[in-house]
Amino acid sequence: MKKLEIKNLYVSVEDKQILKGIDLEVNEGEIHALMGPNGNGKSTLLAAIMGDPSYHVDQGSIVYDGQDILSLPVNERSKAGIFLGMQYPQEISGVTNSDFLRAAINVRREKPISLFEFIKTMEKTINDLQMSEDLAHRFVNEGFSGGEKKRNEIVQLEMLKPSLAMLDEIDSGLDVDAIKLVADAIRKIQQETNMAIIIVSHYERFLELIKPTFTHVLINGKIVLSGDETLYDRIDKEGYDWVYKELNLAKEEEETPAVTRVSLGNCAVAETMKGQN
Amino acid sequence: MRIQDNAVIELTGTYQNITIDTDHEIDLKIDSKADTELFFRILKAKKINIDADILHNCSILFWNDSEEEIETIENYRVSSAADLNLAYGECNNAKTARKTNVLLGHEHSNALLSTASLISTDKKYDLVLTNNQPKTNSQIRNYAVVLNGGRLMIDAVGKIVKGARKSESHQVSRALSFEEGQSATILPELLIDENDVQASHAMSIGKVEEKDLFYMMSRGLSLKECTKLISLGYLLPITETISDETLKETLRNELERKISELCMM
């Protein structure tokens, strides 16, 4: 049984500490919803698990399937079964979806996939997600609408069949019909493969469709509260204020540069210097 | 057809596949009589001089397969309202020095000049496209992947003469490298002597964005596999110059093989 174990994880970006001691355990087949106000580290956690080079792990460990994945390059983490459906998928000009996906499938196999089998699988997946038929020949995400980019992430998910899927606001940019379509596709893949899912979403309807088995609230770089599906219900109805109150948490102020107000006719530099003294 | 000596090539409307294989310098004259596509594979030549009068739509793709250094001097005059589509595939491991002049000498004559280069040695192109009449359109597109030990030098000139009103001259040049230490110099020049025209140039030289690599690697591709796919994306469009499907397939396979070989070094 494959298991993700995160212990005491500290992550910073550009010298700013974002995650301050995360502990999380995710077992095969479980669906975990990660909630919390914006800017509290949900995306950072997913990016750090995948190995995004802009994030720096300062402390702690991430073990997946018994393997220390912090020592693995990004592509090896993917081959170990980890997948990140990104909030802002990159556009890769000049590389077609079919060349990209075929290469991605082949690195997981001893023998390359036959062209016939690949085309058959790709066509079925495109059909499942109601993408346009020319998807295979278009460049990866180039010129795609926000919704198409998100559906294309799920096309990749369905074709690569990971054992741990992390979905970062995969529902944003999708209209109501597409949300249902994407949620159904994810559920179906989950039932077929029994993959684990970690999902970041602000949209209660999407979570209802996905049916998480666990909910975690991430505030100020820590998981402050964990529970079952009733937790996201309550957050959807009441917001986060009660969490801050009950747990006695301080809201972290956005860092704003100190501005000294100066009236016209004065030397702004001199006034600012005065203010600092 | 195989060319070993000076020759006149008549463009009569049927697709021609020509191999140049010679020990010495040769002069080629191109005579256009109907809309035609032309493919040249250069196996060996010291120096190639080309002189062409273009009166009909014409697509020419030069594929450099030589193992030795080559020099070319090419002059094209488009003397009717025709489109000239000129393309160079320079993915061989030997030096090239190329001088190409295109003169748009008739109203509504257009030229597109494209290069696709996989650079592992010295390649130097001097390209001059002149809009000599009103309402003419010239475009230059250079795509290059610069590998270890490669040096690319492109001097691309778009020139609009006085009186060539409502003409356009545009250039795009992109050079991609994967490591430090390769050299690419691209000089885009626009020499404009008329007011009522449109002209532009865009250029980028550098490494693949880290975010692109992260995205691709997060699907399991190694750095080398990313390099191969992105390089192929840079170079493959040149094969679209000729509509012959068999040729396209052959060139794609050749490109994939070359990129694999060179990227593994």
pLDDT in tens, B145-197: 998 888 999 999 999 999 999 999 999 999 998 777 678 899 999 999 999 99
In this predicted structure, what is the pLDDT of residue A277?
44
Burial of B89 (0-12, 13-18, 19+ CB in 10 A): buried
Task: Please check whether residue B99 is in contact with residue B126, taking contact to mean a CB–CB distance below 8 angstroms.
Answer: yes
Mutate to test the interface with A, among B207, B212, B218 (most CBs of A within 10 A): B218
In this predicted structure, what is the pLDDT of residue A247?
87
Between chains, do A79 and B214 touch, taking CB under 8 Å as contact?
A: no
pLDDT in tens, A169-227: 998 888 888 999 999 999 999 999 999 999 998 888 888 899 999 999 999 999 999 99
Minimal Cβ distance to A103: which of B212, B223, B225:
B225
Long-range contacts of B254-263 (CB under 8 A, 24+ apart): B254/B91, B255/B91, B255/B118, B256/B228, B256/B232, B258/B91, B258/B118, B259/B118, B259/B145, B259/B228, B259/B231, B259/B232, B259/B235, B260/B228, B262/B93, B262/B118, B262/B120, B262/B147, B263/B147, B263/B224, B263/B227, B263/B228, B263/B231
In this predicted structure, what is the pLDDT of residue A266?
60
The alpha-carbon gap from A139 to the nearest alpha carbon of chain B, in Å, equals 9
Residue of B nearest to A94 (CA): B233
Residue of B nearest to A95 (CA): B233
Residue of B nearest to A98 (CA): B229
Between chains, do A104 and B219 touch, taking CB under 8 Å as contact?
A: yes
| Helix H or strand E segment including B233 | helix B223-235
Between chains, do B218 and A103 touch, taking CB under 8 Å as contact?
A: no
Query: What distances in angstroms separate CA B72 from CA A125, B62, B88, B116, one per listed residue?
Result: 49, 11, 12, 16
What are the residue ranges spanned by the domains of chain B? 2-208
- Specify the pTM: 0.84
Task: Please check whether residue A97 is in contact with residue A179, taking contact to mean a CB–CB distance below 8 angstroms.
Answer: no
Query: CB-based contact (8 Å) between B172 and chain A?
Result: no
In this predicted structure, what is the pLDDT of residue B104?
98
Residues of B in contact with A101 (CB under 8 A): 219
* CA–CA gap between residue A244 and residue A241 (Å, rounded): 5
Query: What distances in angstroms separate CA A248 from CA A245, A254, B99, one per listed residue?
Result: 5, 19, 75
How many beta-carbon pairs under 8 angstroms link A with B?
74
Task: Please check whether residue A42 is in contact with residue A240, taking contact to mean a CB–CB distance below 8 angstroms.
Answer: no
Distance from chain centroid for Cα A102: 23
Between chains, do B215 and A108 touch, taking CB under 8 Å as contact?
A: no
Minimal Cβ distance to A93: which of B214, B232, B233:
B233
Nearest CA-CA partner of A246 in A255, A234, A236, A230 = A234
Residue of A nearest to B231 (CA): A94
Minimal Cβ distance to A92: which of B215, B225, B236:
B215
* Cβ count within 10 A of residue B110: 19
| Helix H or strand E segment including B229 | helix B223-235
ipTM for the complex shown: 0.89
Which residues, given as ranges, of chain B have pLDDT below 70?
Answer: 181, 263-265
Query: CB-based contact (8 Å) between B212 and chain A?
Result: yes
Residues, chain A, total?
277
* CA–CA gap between residue B50 and residue B55 (Å, rounded): 16
Mutate to test the interface with B, among A90, A93, A159 (most CBs of B within 10 A): A90
Minimal Cβ distance to A90: which of B212, B223, B236:
B212
What are the structural domains of chain A? 3-276 (3.40.50.300)
Residue-by-residue pLDDT tens, chain A, 277 positions: 899 999 999 999 998 999 999 999 999 999 999 998 888 899 999 999 999 999 999 999 999 999 999 999 999 999 999 999 999 999 999 999 999 999 999 999 999 999 999 999 999 999 999 998 899 999 999 999 999 999 999 999 999 999 999 999 998 888 888 999 999 999 999 999 999 999 998 888 888 899 999 999 999 999 999 998 888 888 888 888 888 988 888 877 555 555 556 566 566 556 555 555 4
In this predicted structure, what is the pLDDT of residue A90?
95
**Residues of A contacting chain B (CB within 8 angstroms):** 50-54, 73-75, 77-79, 83-84, 86, 89-90, 92-96, 99-101, 103-104, 107-108, 139, 156, 160
